[in-house]
Structure 1
Amino acid sequence: MKKKRFLYILCLLLLFGIQGMYAQKPASYIEVKGKIIDENSKDALVFADIVLKDTNISTITNSDGEFVLKVPDSLTSKSIRFSHLGYQKKEMKISELLSNSKVTLKPALTELTAIEIKTFKNAEALLKETLKNRSVYNSNGTLMTAFYRETIKKRRRNASLSEAVVQIHKQPYSNFKNDDIELIKARKSTDYSRLDTLAVKLQGGPFSNLYTDIIKYPEFIFTNQEIPLYDFSFSESTQINDKLVYVINFKQKPGVAQPMYYGKLYIDAETLALTNAVYRLNVENRELSSQMYVRKKPRQVDVYPTEATYRVNYRTQNGKWHYAYSNILLTFKVNWKGKLFNSTYTLNSEMAITDWSINNTKLAKVKDNLLKPTTILADETSGFKDPAFWGEYNIIEPEKSIESAIEKIKKQLKRT
């Protein structure tokens, strides 16, 4: 099995970790909260983009379609732009949102013919052109502020919750240097009693999500050797921000034994930039797919994935595209030999870029706080005591189950 194509590693091992808690400067801001829904169906829109106009301050909706955006007092006169794949974009003044927190987006109607993709003889040719078309992405070094969250559930109950604010020292897309991640602030709580006396740990942390940036790291999914092993086809086109988007389906060819990915790629028709990708790993072969994720486990335990889903979104600013958000969802079966029942664990992580700036100086000068791709986030519960723990940093609004978990953590801390 190939080294780098695996975006996540599950570890079953004895308990250990590192700790990181860093201070931040105080700031003055307001919180804009709301929910984004489909204008017709009234369904919540998940992974919708929320951007403060003419800035790089942003966030994304959670699985309930809800969001919170922290806006500095000096920028409250600006508008907020809302967008979602397959919908018309919308702008609203902050004053409007403070009085009406529900935002509705209209589905974008797209009538297309095969003429619009006549430049490319097939979908594979379009993908290859997209992968080498790096000039439409940020060509400068950028310092990105991001919010990262990972959860581990045993069946449907939360067993671990980790959150962090990080700074990504993002190398230009024009070069092949790896990005660095600096830990700014973090908190974590783990109930080890729900983890079968073993710690289910996500090795890689924020790096796992960063590596879903297909344009920067194509080696994790589309190497020159692996592209011929896929079947590619065109699907019905759509829109984002009122612009045409090509849709490519891909899946491994019949007869290919190794686990590979299948899903959809969304490509901007004008710039040929990748705007979104949603894909899964084929986990039908338990033994081979297990080798891709399980790094360490006791001999008496069998572990294999039953689901592995990935999503990455890009955003455009000043005519250049950049990585904006990614989500990874993994489900594993853990079978103890000699036990009648097995356990099911769901591991979910997401990372959203909440602000960024061009940084032409040498990136990652400070080495002390830099994370390693093998990092496992620390066990640190104290942050849950403080409702204003994140200060002015933008985060992804917690979904209902995470809000419930945080409340339980607070109650436990009060008792202790």
Structure 2
Amino acid sequence: MKKLNFGLILFCLVFASTTCYSFQGETPNFKQYEGEVVDANNGKALIFATLMVEGTNISTITNTEGDFLLKVPANLSSGTISISFLGYTTKTVALNDLAQNENTIELVPSALQLTEVDVNAPKDARTLVLEVFKRKGDKYLDNPALMTAFYRETIKKRRKNVSLSEAVVNIYKSPYQSNRRDAVQLYKARKSTDYSKLDTIALKLQGGPYNTLYSDIVKYPDIVFLEQNFDQYTYKFKRSTRINDNLIYVISFSQREDIRDQLYKGELFIDVEQKTLTSAIYELNITNKVMAARLFVKKKPAKVDVWPTDIAYRVDYRNKNGKWYYGYSNVLLEFKVDWDDKLFNSVYSMTAEMAITDWEQNIDGEVPKPKERIRSSIILADEASGFSDPDFWGEYNIIEPEKSIESAIKKIQRQLRRAERKGAATPTP
């Protein structure tokens, strides 16, 4: 298995602090809409549904509770949005028909004819997957692009939030057929950590936005499908579904039983007509926890053992004028921390997610100078000041916070207000 050596080290146990970045910009006039996307038949929340403003590249997604927050420039507030989700018929809604909040958008499941499965099902799933990756230069963005993205990372001890980081970044996306890696520039960020819940260790996530960016396995196939290990997987056609009214194959892959290396397993969602990967859900097959720990634990105290128990990824792609591009990804890492002198271990989960909220062609292919980029080893620093400002993100689209994250933000804001009042009450010597 190839060592993940360029930003996919998911966490480290460190005691040092690092620099925080926060750059203010002008806030233009915009309108925002809040609501939820649900199944029209049973009201079930649709997680990671995509909302796009038609005629633009502005977009957002629903969170893990089906909620969305969409910000649109005022001059586009009379436009329309399209809402899409795997297995459902795409719906178009006029922005004029939406309220400022409490909107409910219902999607209808797509009808899939049995004949489509029987007639179109590929006989050789392996050949289909190989074709998808070989044709990426034809079907995915073939020109440089400048993307705006929202990034969020959380650390939980069991079910309690202990750290929350958010950032807006610029991604200088190189063409998919190019071997040049993408560059990331940090525009604005905020973070808060409750160290009282961290077992006396300072737990930090290393890599920041690169953790999610490198989940783009079309751009970075060697993360999962190295050329020399492609045939170490078994590929099977599972089922068919639909997205944007297009037929989608679902191909499962898993490492062969005779392979002892720690590879991956998951599902690939492939557009039938275009032979493109539209989504992928995959996880590391942890067959050796010691080896997995070496891959993902960058630094730790000597008397602590850290065992990854789940390492999972998701990436979704979007289509614009026949070209596909990276749209959203998330990474989940769950692990146990076992102290030599403690009876019980601690269970932590770390989640990182990033959504592209707008983009344009980078015609000149310009990229920031190395000193202006963030490194793949970045650790977003502790800086809670941004949480005191309800308008911190301005016009930038973000992923609507889940209820637990909303509660964490409100708690941080209360703590800051108390600190400010205490500081104001302290006489100056």
TM over 0.5: yes
Matches within 5 A, 1:63-102: 63-98=64-99, 101-102=103-104
Q: Tell me the alpha carbon deviations over residues 277-327 of structure 1, each in whole angstroms, 9 at most, x when there is no partner.
A: 011111242112212211111111110111111100000011110000001
Q: Tell me the alpha carbon deviations over residues 9-38 of structure 1, each in whole angstroms, 9 at most, x when there is no partner.
A: 321121322210101112000001110001
Q: Which amino acid aligns with 1:321?
A: W
Matches within 5 A, 1:17-32: 17-32=18-33
Distance in 2, Cα, partners of 1:369 & 1:49:
31
CA shift, 1:363, in A, is 2.5
Specify the alignment match of 1:60 in structure 2: 61
Distance in 2, Cα, partners of 1:81 & 1:14:
46
CA shift, 1:3, in A, is 2.4
Q: Tell me the alpha carbon deviations over residues 327-374 of structure 1, each in whole angstroms, 9 at most, x when there is no partner.
A: 111111000012101001110010000000001113223444311111
Matches within 5 A, 1:135-150: 135-150=138-153
Matches within 5 A, 1:68-217: 68-98=69-99, 101-111=103-113, 112-118=116-122, 121-134=123-136, 135-217=138-220
Structure 1 residue runs of 5 or longer lacking an equivalent are: none
Distance in 2, Cα, partners of 1:231 & 1:301:
37
Aligned residues, how many?
A: 414
Q: Tell me the alpha carbon deviations over residues 172-218 of structure 1, each in whole angstroms, 9 at most, x when there is no partner.
A: 11211000000000000011121112122111110010001111000
Distance in 1, Cα, partners of 2:208 & 2:59:
22
Matches within 5 A, 1:225-264: 225-264=228-267
Q: Which amino acid aligns with 1:180?
A: A
Distance in 2, Cα, partners of 1:247 & 1:372:
35
Structure 2 residue runs of 5 or longer lacking an equivalent are: 420-429
Q: Which amino acid aligns with 2:337?
A: V
Distance in 2, Cα, partners of 1:313 & 1:9:
20
Secondary structure in structure 2 of the residue aligned to 1:98 = coil
Distance in 1, Cα, partners of 2:155 & 2:248:
34
Specify the alignment match of 1:310 in structure 2: 313
Distance in 2, Cα, partners of 1:409 & 1:157:
14
Q: Does 1:276 align with 2:295?
A: no
Q: Tell me the alpha carbon deviations over residues 210-241 of structure 1, each in whole angstroms, 9 at most, x when there is no partner.
A: 00111100010001112111111001111110
Q: Which amino acid aligns with 1:33?
A: E
Secondary structure in structure 1 of the residue aligned to 2:176 = coil
Give the conservation status (yes or no) of the 8 Å contact 1:34–1:97. Answer: no
Distance in 1, Cα, partners of 2:58 & 2:235:
36
Distance in 1, Cα, partners of 2:299 & 2:91:
48
Once superposed, what is the RMSD of the aligned Cα atoms?
1.4
Q: Tell me the alpha carbon deviations over residues 71-102 of structure 1, each in whole angstroms, 9 at most, x when there is no partner.
A: 10110111010000111000000121217710
Specify the alignment match of 2:2 in structure 1: 2
Specify the alignment match of 2:426 in structure 1: none
Matches within 5 A, 1:332-351: 332-351=335-354
Distance in 1, Cα, partners of 2:72 & 2:369:
28
Q: TM-score, normalised by structure 2?
A: 0.94
Give the conservation status (yes or no) of the 8 Å contact 1:146–1:167. Answer: yes
Matches within 5 A, 1:305-384: 305-384=308-387
Distance in 1, Cα, partners of 2:55 & 2:106:
22
Give the conservation status (yes or no) of the 8 Å contact 1:258–1:288. Answer: no
**How much identity, in percent, do the aligned residues show?**
49
CA shift, 1:149, in A, is 0.1
Give the conservation status (yes or no) of the 8 Å contact 1:15–1:198. Answer: no
